[in-house]
Amino acid sequence: MEGSSRSQYSEKEKLTVFNNEFLPHINSMYNFGYRLTLDEDDAKDLVQDTYMKAYRFIESFQKGTNAKAWLFRILKNSFINDYRKKSKEPNKVDYQEVESYYNSDDVDRQITTDLRVEALQNMIGDEISNALNALDVDFRTVIILADLEGFKYDEMAKILDIPIGTVRSRLHRARNLLKDKLSEYAKKMGYKNA
Amino acid sequence: MSHLDNPFSKPSGEKVTCLEMLQVILDGEATEEQHLYFKKHMDACMPCYKSFELDMQIRQLIKSKCCGGQVPEDLVDRIKSQVNSIS
């Protein structure tokens, strides 16, 4: 948050910005919180905490700029700084390790020859949701931001505090990993070529 | 179409791959010109057409299966009352 671009709001203006620019994103925020924590109560706490921070630091939000990206950034930071520390995820994987592991050519291959549209069309249950949830949180996050929320590279770079090139490659890997997962499910469902 | 006319071409002049074009499209970063080019390209390139179809199907499924969660009603009320109490 750039200190040089702080806005001055009256108390009334603060509430107006909060109600008109922040609250309308509550659905997306809750979904993001839920997809990160995979727990409804944790998601509620995370979203509430994010909105409180947004209100407290409203001076650093510039009217007319992208409120949704700003809120997502706060939520993501709260998740990393508060939630992850608190819960000390036992199976938390060091991201760098994951990234270099998946940086191999193997995962960059094109998976289209495996997975088929027909197999996907029969995934009417929770397979898609489970496949997404099974991805490491960093890969899950970029899929949510890009494919569910429609954020662009530059917005994602700001939300995640990573360079645009990293956004691009992480998204690419995330899509391949997701296809791998879906392919596993398809095989279980009996699609030989999946 | 020579690859020189390809709107996906890199400044280095290096040839752009199908996979790279597809990613620009999927990531929502393509210009209108790139969209048109890729659409034409897909007519002639079966692997691209198949990949595109698969990826779009996955995206559509993600949107329909991973977005529907309704915000718990009390959450909005909790947030509003907390904000009102500190403002």
Domain assignments of chain B as residue spans, ordered by start: 3-86
pLDDT at A87: 62
- Using CB atoms and an 8 Å cut-off, which of residues 146-185 of chain A contact chain B? 146-148, 150, 152-153, 168, 171-172, 175, 178-179, 182
A151 and A130 together in one domain: yes
A124 and A144 together in one domain: yes
Q: Indicate the number of domains in chain A.
A: 2
A116 part of contact set with chain B, CB < 8 Å: yes
Nearest to A148 among B67, B82, B83 (CB): B67
CATH number at residue A76: 1.10.1740.10
pLDDT at A3: 45
Residue A31 included in any domain? yes
Low-confidence ranges of chain A (pLDDT < 50): 1-4, 90, 92, 96-97, 101, 103-108, 111-113
Do the Cβ atoms of B29 and A152 come closer than 8 Å? yes
Say if residue A98 is exposed, middle or buried (CB neighbours under 10 Å; 0-12, 13-18, 19+).
Answer: middle
- Using CB atoms and an 8 Å cut-off, which of residues 31-50 of chain B contact chain A? 47, 50
Residue A101 included in any domain? yes
Indicate the residue among A66, A87, A108 that finishes a domain: A87
Domain range for A166: 95-188
Question: Residue A4 in 3-state DSSP?
Answer: helix
pLDDT at A117: 80
Distances (CA, A) of A105 to A101, A110, B75: 10, 10, 45
What tens digit of pLDDT does each residue of B60-81 get?
889 888 876 678 889 999 999 9
Indicate the residue among A32, A56, A87 that finishes a domain: A87
The DSSP string of A141-191 is HHHIIIIIT---HHHHHHHHTS-HHHHHHHHHHHHHHHHHHHHHHHHHTT-
Indicate the residue among A60, A87, A114 that finishes a domain: A87
Tell me the mean pLDDT in the region B55-63: 90
Residue A70 included in any domain? yes
CB contact under 8 A, B66 and A132: yes
A105 and A80 together in one domain: no
Q: What is the end-to-end Cα distance of chain B in Å, rounded? A: 62
Q: How far is B51 from chain A (nearest CA, A)?
A: 6
A175 and A104 together in one domain: yes
What gap in Å lies between CA A14 and CA A8, rounded to an integer?
9
A76 and A124 together in one domain: no
Angle among Cα A98, A164, A21 to the nearest 5 degrees reads 105
What tens digit of pLDDT does each residue of A60-78 get?
998 888 999 999 999 999 9
A80 and A117 together in one domain: no
- Report residue B1's pLDDT band, with 50, 70 and 90 as the boundaries: very low
Residue ranges with strand state E in chain A: none
Q: Which residue has the higher pLDDT, B29 or B2?
A: B29
Q: Find the residue in A nearest to B27 (Cα).
A: A146
Taking 50 as the threshold, does the pLDDT of residue B22 lie above it? yes
pLDDT at B4: 53
A12 and A47 together in one domain: yes
Amino acid letter, residue B24: V
Chain B residues lying within 8 Å of A35, measured CB to CB: 66
